[in-house]
Amino acid sequence: MVRRSLRSLLSAGGLAVLVSAGAVIPAQAEPAPGSGGPPDPAALRQVERTADPDEIAEIVAGMTVEQKVGQLFVPHVYGDDAENPDPADAAMNMELFGVETPAEVVSRYHLGGVIYFEWSNNLRGGPEQIAGLSNGLQRAAADSGAGVPLVIGTDQEQGVVTRIREPATTFPGNMALAAGRSVLGATTAAYITGAELRAMGINQNYAPTADVNVNPLNPVIGVRSFSSDPGLAARYSAAQVLGYQAADVTATTKHFPGHGDTHQDSHLEVPQIDHTREEWERLDLPPFRAAVDAGIDSVMTGHLVVPALDPTGTPATLSEPIITGVLRGELGFDGVVVTDGLDMEGVRQDYTDEEIAVRAVQAGVDMLLKSPEGAFAAQYNAVLAAVDSGEISMERLDASVVRILTMKYERGLFDDPYADTGTVDRIVGNRLHQAAAGRITDRTTTLVSNDGVLPLDAGTTGSVLVTGTLTEPLVAGMAERGVAAEGVGTGLNPTPAQIDAAVAAAAGHDLVVVATNRAGDARWAEQRELVNELVATGVPVVAVAMRDPYDIAYFTGVDAYLATYSATSASNRSLLRVLFGEVEPSGRLPVDIPVAGSATEVLYPFGHGLGY
């Protein structure tokens, strides 16, 4: 695998500056003593460890077939404590795995990893609890027969997909980072996110999303993408790979071969990407190639049909031409290939759960993520049976196990897989990380239109109505500035009564700030009526897109329009600073905003952004 330094990658893109005052981007180093934060060296590089192939081969040779097959699986388990889960969580584990505790699941099946979620109650107790759970699972792995440490992963993409929230440091997500036009900021965000994950014992992040969002109606990617521009998406993908892996956290780019140009959600159905081979190479491939060149540890497959790459109509996760032929053969990727969640309908529509597990391994996949509820044992036994029958050769199984163990070695898990519970609270969400998040986020808010109503003046603005999908943090922030503000929340689907209430309230105020969230999506089209009726009152209206930036196409009569790309607490604080002129808006659109209903006519172009 070709590994390139951040310096060479940024220089190749015309961005040679690596460090600015106050940036927090460490290399292979420990946090500064007593600071709780990372050091500030002159450059960032990946932690370099080279696994000895002979040592890895010796470990693999000593493993049983059951232990090898276990390494392929990364299920979710229930509970916030490895040995003593709550009774309800213990009951769920017993139903799904035949044992009560997360530790017993790891030991019984010799798991290669686990994935954390809020809904499986892994993340409900804060950083110290998460670190304790991670350590308990690692102890179970160490005490099992093979003694191989676990991959412990989660989806901490930031922005709209953020599994671990405050007190962890939060960032506004990929599209916002690209709007900030600071590759350094994106790298810093990845490093800080990775450092906090590793402090909690989480050593794999299923990020960054490398999909190029060329379809504004994409229902599942949107702001999870950096951009509709392949080159911009490639630079930011590579920079985040290096940021995560400098923190000794495996980065996982997704969703190969590219989920950006679809109007279908692979959680619910099988999307088909109809790009020609030339279009795929031009639009979808660049961020994945950049991630591979940056030395990424892991690539996640998408449950996507791409006829230009595999004319049989097989989803990429199960496609040998795509996984072994394109990803490994053409791109030269020799790291770990992991599936997207195997509980998603994008891969289950035409295959049984048992077939899916076997076919994925045959296609060249190494790790099987998140078996459907109740199907884990069936998938595990199906792979065992396929190995026993020769349907999956021992050579093929060993190749995956070698890649998995090599990744674990290179991320330092064989040296020390444990979290330090005594320092985790000093690292997660510390002052330096929060300050860096604020600086980075302030660059991302994009002022798209302004008919002279912004910036606001706290002394002369008068009273403000805050309505739409988000009210409380904005009302509180205005109150802190001495501005009289009233909140009238309407949610994603405002009813006629809610719209009437907001319009009636507007008459008693000097300004309206309305927050929208994917108003361009037909599922939440009522937001358009809300904004347009507010405009009709004659009271100045400032609209803020809290997710996809395309909403203004449906209410062009607003007096000002901003895009924050997310509704994280950091984004909300930055929005308030921009609204009141405390921070100059400097974000630039990383996508075109098309005219409503048009696939070609542009309302606001890529790169557009106003200042004061």
Distance CA 331, CA 294 (A): 12
Helix, strand or coil for residue 593? strand
**Which listed residue (267, 343, 398, 510) is catalytic?**
267
**Which listed residue (340, 353, 442, 521) is catalytic?**
340
Catalytic site residue 267?
A: yes
Provide the phi-psi class of 201: left if phi over 0, else alpha when psi is between -120 and 50, else beta.
Answer: left
Nearest to 531 by CA among 574, 564, 561, 508: 561
Distance CA 551, CA 515 (A): 10
Nearest to 153 by CA among 204, 85, 95: 204
**What is the side-by-side order of every strand in the sheet holding 464-468?**
446-450, 560-563, 541-545, 511-516, 464-468, 485-489
Helix %, strand %, coil % of the chain (to 5): 40, 10, 50
Q: What is the CA radius of gyration of the chain?
A: 24
Provide the phi-psi class of 219: left if phi over 0, else alpha when psi is between -120 and 50, else beta.
Answer: alpha
Distance CA 557, CA 275 (A): 36
- Compute CA 109 distance to the chain's CA centroid, rounded to the nearest angstrom: 28
* Bridge partners of residue 115, in order along the sequence: 153
Contact 172, 570 (CB under 8 A): yes
Distance CA 352, CA 361 (A): 15
CA distance to 101, 564, 579, 600, per residue, from 584 (Å): 52, 14, 9, 31
Contact 111, 150 (CB under 8 A): yes
Q: Please give the backbone phi and psi of residue 545, each rounded to the nearest 5 degrees, phi first.
A: -80, 115
Helix, strand or coil for residue 151? strand
**Would you please indicate which residues are annotated as catalytic (active-site) residues?**
267, 340
